[in-house]
Amino acid sequence: MRLQMLKLVGIDEGFFERYPNQLSGGQQQRVGVARALAIKPNILLMDEPFGAVDPIVREELQDELLRIQKELDLTIVLVTHDRYEALKLADQLVVLSDGAKIEQAGSVAQFKAKPANDFVRKLLGLEK
């Protein structure tokens, strides 16, 4: 099971016996995802999972997450402050403002077609 999860997240077999400090930041993130998936959760909560990696690795990890989500038919709740990440990864979005007030909830298409207000429009970088 352990090796299967590492392969699923794209860790090459040559890295299976390494310690965390011998892995790159992206590889460490992948191992973290593998550990979370090993218990076969129904829902995976990820809070800013790609914030500590460079933009190129971030994009690769986002693509991997989309692949894994589809492959495992997994529900993922992703907390992010990155609008590009939110628009790329989400099926459904919830935009919160100060005090955890819900400004808008819905699909990416709904957000793009009809942002609820100027706060949502500005946050997501949508044209007026």
Instruction: Report the alpha-carbon distance of residue 95 to residue 121 in Å, rounded.
Output: 10
User: Same domain for 48 and 110?
Assistant: no
Instruction: Report the alpha-carbon distance of residue 117 to residue 128 in Å, rounded.
Output: 10
User: Same domain for 96 and 86?
Assistant: no
Average pLDDT, the chain: 89
Q: Where are the beta strands (DSSP E) in 9-79?
A: 43-47, 75-79
User: Same domain for 61 and 118?
Assistant: no
pLDDT tens profile 45-95? 999 988 878 888 889 889 989 999 999 999 999 999 999 999 999 999 999
Residue type, 26: G
User: Same domain for 101 and 53?
Assistant: no
pTM: 0.79
Number of compact structural domains in the chain: 2
User: Same domain for 73 and 115?
Assistant: no
User: Same domain for 63 and 97?
Assistant: no
Contacts of 56 (CB under 8 A, 6+ apart): none
Measured CA distances, 108 to 30, 48, 89 (Å): 26, 19, 10
Domain span at 57: 2-90
